[in-house]
Amino acid sequence: AQSVSQHNHHVILSEAASLELGCNYSYGGTVNLFWYVQYPGQHLQLLLKYFSGDPLVKGIKGFEAEFIKSKFSFNLRKPSVQWSDTAEYFCAAAKGGKSTFGDGTTLTVKP
């Protein structure tokens, strides 16, 4: 069965710390990969996506992710987090009409 797993359910960092959120997927064949963010009280919105090409993709607000095919991973990174990055982060995989989301990681950034 298709699945997406996120390694950390709750991460607490101080401002300026570096961030890495792990994501592994289990899907047959080629899939498209996404990271979405849900700020408190707001809609889910896209941070970045990977379809093909350069495995290092850059998204909004200084986020980036690296697709490693051999590890079935798509980890999210940010060199220096800000208090405004406090949110819930979801990794997702999609193939055709089916989309599978991870359980989410709640990031709390302390000022």
Among 40, 53, 97, 111, binds other proteins (CB under 8 A): 97
**Beta-bridge partner residues of 50:** 33
Q: Which is nearer to other proteins, 22 or 104 (CB)?
A: 104
Contact call for residue 100 and other proteins (CB under 8 A)? yes
Of 17-25, 30-38, 65-73, 77-85, the window that binds other proteins (rule: CB under 8 A) is 30-38
92 and 100 Cβ atoms separated by less than 8 Å = yes
**Beta-bridge partner residues of 95:** 98
The C-alpha atoms of residue 103 and residue 89 are separated, in whole angstroms, by 9
CA nearest 37: which of 62, 18, 17?
Answer: 62
Of 11-19, 42-50, 65-73, 75-83, the window that binds other proteins (rule: CB under 8 A) is 42-50
The C-alpha atoms of residue 39 and residue 84 are separated, in whole angstroms, by 9
Site string for other proteins, 49-78 (x = CB under 8 A): x-x---------------------------
Among 25, 63, 67, 90, binds other proteins (CB under 8 A): 90
Q: Are strands 105-110 and 10-14 parallel, antiparallel or unpaired?
A: parallel
Among 28, 40, 53, 96, binds other proteins (CB under 8 A): 96
